[in-house]
Structure 1
Amino acid sequence: MSETNAHDTTFQSTLAGVTVEGRAHPLSAWFVLALRLVIGFAFLYSGAEKVLVGFDAQGYLLNVAAQNGNPLEEMFLWMGQTDWFVAFVNIAVPWGEVAIGLGLMVGLLTRLAAFFGALMMLLFYFGNWDMAHGPINADFMYMLVFLSVAAFGAGRILGLDQYVEQYEVDGQPLIEKYPRLEYVLG
């Protein structure tokens, strides 16, 4: 028989008929906060650097996938040869990184920021495809960090999401009045 600390938080989820559960130690909140702040800073820094120095994705899109056996080689080639798409990526990547980083740093719209961060890392995963050391690389791990930040509602830990969710509209907390906001806040 195991003892349960009164300060432990129990979590449980069922997916496809399989239920998993666990207990988080109270210090887990600090590690979730650290994940949010570190990945937020990394993205804010990377995006700010691209904004200040300049960024052109065309060479990457045209060449990277062709050099590494990427299963999405044709898609990356199309992206690099399509002028309007390159123009979009040249704005979306640096400013997206800045927005994702800022959102995570202050804990505002955290799940939305983490979703777009994970999506960006998925695209980088395929763009930087390399099976030399197996299917798990740094881009894949960053994607998991973003998904963890979203899953744990990291914006509620010393973040603005905790205040936005409790903001009252017609005498009711925002998150209760509009429960679907839980998909972007938290």
Structure 2
Amino acid sequence: MVIKFLKENIYASYGLLVLRFYLGWSWLQAGWGKIAGGNFDSSGFLKGAIKNASGDHPAVQSWWADFINHFALPNAGLFNVLVPWGEFLVGLGLILGIFTTFAVLMGLVMNFSYMFSGTTSTNPQMVLMGMLILAAGLNAGRIGVDRWVIPVINKKILKKEDQENFLQAT
């Protein structure tokens, strides 16, 4: 019942718009602060996460610490670009309502990555808001650019499927 309301109700889309703006602004500010600062370095955060994987009550799971140690830390330069631009683009996508479900999904991936790394901060509340937006599906972007973009994409996908069906029939 709640999911149906989130997915179909026009009033829900207005509430989701407010949620999108709040969440989008949070991501946009976080990303822009790192981009404009010009000196973002993820290696300190990554090293801190590895340290939190030891002790009697580790805040970071050993499998995640292994991922950080063997992949993320050696590629910190890549993460120094991906994190700020990812945050910024997620925020922009949510504010504009373009590729809304993909934007919120990528935001959730980042939130969970931060939480896996032992930080809490605003991540749990951002996850809850993101889950509501994700559950709403296309209705979350109804008041946004998705209103025009998604039908065009669906139309092109349907044409492609029709072409494939035609080729299989011949």
Determine whether 1:115 maps to 2:105: yes
Determine whether 1:147 maps to 2:137: no
Identify the structure with the greater strand proportion: 1
- What residue number does 1:69 align with? 58
Q: Deviations over 1:86-110 (max 9, x none)?
A: 1111111000001111111101111
* Alpha-carbon distance in 1 for matches of 2:35, 2:59: 28
Query: How many residues of Structure 1 are paired with residues of Structure 2 in the alignment?
Result: 153
The answer to which of 46-55 and 69-78 deviates more is 69-78
- What residue number does 2:81 align with? 91
Task: Say which SS state the counterpart of residue 108 (structure 1) adopts.
Answer: coil
Structure with more relative contact order (C-alpha pairs < 8 Å, separation 6 or more): 2
- What residue number does 2:151 align with? 166
Q: CA deviation at 1:26?
A: 5.7
Letter of the structure 1 residue corresponding to residue 129 of structure 2: V
Letter of the structure 1 residue corresponding to residue 19 of structure 2: L
Task: Say which SS state the counterpart of residue 64 (structure 1) adopts.
Answer: helix
User: Percent of aligned positions with the same letter in both sequences?
Assistant: 22
Determine whether 1:29 maps to 2:19: no
* Alpha-carbon distance in 1 for matches of 2:22, 2:125: 13
* Alpha-carbon distance in 1 for matches of 2:27, 2:99: 15
Q: Which runs of 5+ in 2 are unaligned?
A: 162-170
- Aligned alpha-carbon RMSD (Å): 3.1
Q: CA deviation at 1:177?
A: 4.8
- What residue number does 1:100 align with? 90
Letter of the structure 1 residue corresponding to residue 106 of structure 2: F
- What residue number does 2:122 align with? 138
8 Å CA contact 1:124, 1:139 repeated in 2: yes
